[in-house]
Amino acid sequence: MFITFEGIDGSGKSTQARLLAEALTGLGRDVLRTREPGGSPGAEEIRALVLQGDPDRWSAKTEILLFTAARRDHLERTIEPALAAGKVVVCDRFADSTRMYQGLSRGDLRALVDDLHRLMIGREPDLTFLIDIDPAVGLSRAKGRQGHEERFEDMGLAMQARMRDGFLTLAQEFSNRFKVIEGDRAPEAVAAEVLALTLAALQARA
Ligand SMILES: Nc1ncnc2c1ncn2[C@@H]1O[C@H](COP(=O)(O)OP(=O)(O)OP(=O)(O)O)[C@@H](O)[C@H]1O
Ligand SMILES: [Mg+2]
């Protein structure tokens, strides 16, 4: 089963991906935890290109190509082999993030993102957790961290609010695989709901 975590900056995706992977491992499942952009050696190199440096480093369209190239490598080298080996793959961000950040934030490029996805990726997760959170809470959490990967960090509250609405709309569009989770709770409470939904989905597939 291929599980992804989505949501705005600071919503708790990385925290929840880690907690879910730990919980499933503790239950004896073979788990691979990975992330985007990145998740394979080549895609991690592209990660540095898209997350570091000047915000205007790439045009919107070039950026979509870089994210798609990274995703293709990640899919071929990391995700598909793990799924073929029977592992549960837990991925921090995937194509839904590109639909939002590259498809929405710099003009309406969603159709281009979807076309490239169909041509080059052609696969959706089995289960996607949207960690939904007030943009102000997410922003204050995200600002608490320091790093070099800040190309998208200075989007500001208005853009964060647009992204949140976009993710909620996406969850309706792909309602078969999305679960919307209230993220403004203790991490353990969020993790318990995520684990329960995951175990139910695993059981339904068994
Ligand atoms: N439920 C929670 N309550 C309070 N703080 C939290 C919660 N979940 C995560 N945090 C903290 O908020 C910060 C952001 O969390 P995390 O890195 O998991 O978010 P993220 O969605 O992965 O962010 P980004 O999109 O920037 O990668 C971290 O410092 C984390 O410890
Ligand atoms: Mg994260």
Please determine, for residue 153, whether its predicted confidence score (pLDDT) is greater than 80.
no
Cβ–ligand 1 contact at 190 (below 6 Å): yes
Strands 31-35 and 2-6: unpaired
Cβ–ligand 1 contact at 15 (below 6 Å): yes
Cβ–ligand 1 contact at 138 (below 6 Å): no
Arithmetic mean of pLDDT, 84-95: 98
> Candidates 141, 154, 182: which one to mutate for ligand 1, based on the most atoms within 8 Å of Cβ?
141
* Cα–Cα–Cα angle for 172, 176, 182, rounded to 5 degrees: 60
pLDDT digits (tens, 9 = 90+) for 16-64: 999 999 999 999 999 999 999 999 999 999 999 999 988 889 999 999 9
**Nearest ligand, measured from the Cα of 141:** 1
Q: Taking Cα atoms as reference points, which of 206, 197, 204 lies closest to residue 3?
A: 197
- How far, in Å, from the CA of 12 to the mean position of ligand 1? 4
Q: Confirm whether residue 86 is marked as ligand binding.
A: no
Query: What CATH fold (topology level) applies to the domain 2-205?
Result: Rossmann fold (3.40.50)
Cβ–ligand 1 contact at 149 (below 6 Å): no
- How far, in Å, from the CA of 136 to the mean position of ligand 1? 13
- Residue 98 contacts residue 113 (beta carbons within 8 Å): yes
Q: Confirm whether residue 12 is marked as ligand binding.
A: yes
How far is it, in rounded angstroms, from Cα 28 to Cα 30?
Answer: 7
Residue 32 pairs with which residues in a beta bridge? Answer: 89
> Candidates 15, 146, 163, 194: which one to mutate for ligand 1, based on the most atoms within 8 Å of Cβ?
15
Collect all residues with Cβ–Cβ distance below 8 Å to 198 and sequence separation of at least 6.
3, 20, 24, 127
Atom of ligand 1 at shortest range from CA of 92: 22
At 143, the pLDDT band (50, 70, 90 cuts) reads: confident
pLDDT digits (tens, 9 = 90+) for 98-113: 999 989 887 789 999 9
Residue found under tokens 């870089």: 66
In the chain, where the domains are located:
2-205
- Residue 49 contacts residue 3 (beta carbons within 8 Å): no
How far is it, in rounded angstroms, from Cα 52 to Cα 130?
Answer: 25
Q: Confirm whether residue 97 is marked as ligand binding.
A: no
Taking the mean position of all CA atoms in its chain, how far away is CA 132?
A: 13
Report CA-CA distances (Å) from 174 to 83, 128, 162: 21, 9, 18
Q: What's the pLDDT at 24? A: 98
pTM over 0.85: yes
Arithmetic mean of pLDDT, 137-162: 79
Q: Confirm whether residue 8 is marked as ligand binding.
A: yes
Could you give phi then psi for residue 101, rounded to 5 degrees?
-70, -45
Q: What's the pLDDT at 132? A: 98
Q: Confirm whether residue 40 is marked as ligand binding.
A: no
pLDDT digits (tens, 9 = 90+) for 159-195: 899 999 999 999 999 999 999 999 999 999 999 999 9
Query: Which SS3 state, helix, strand or coil, does residue 64 take?
Result: helix
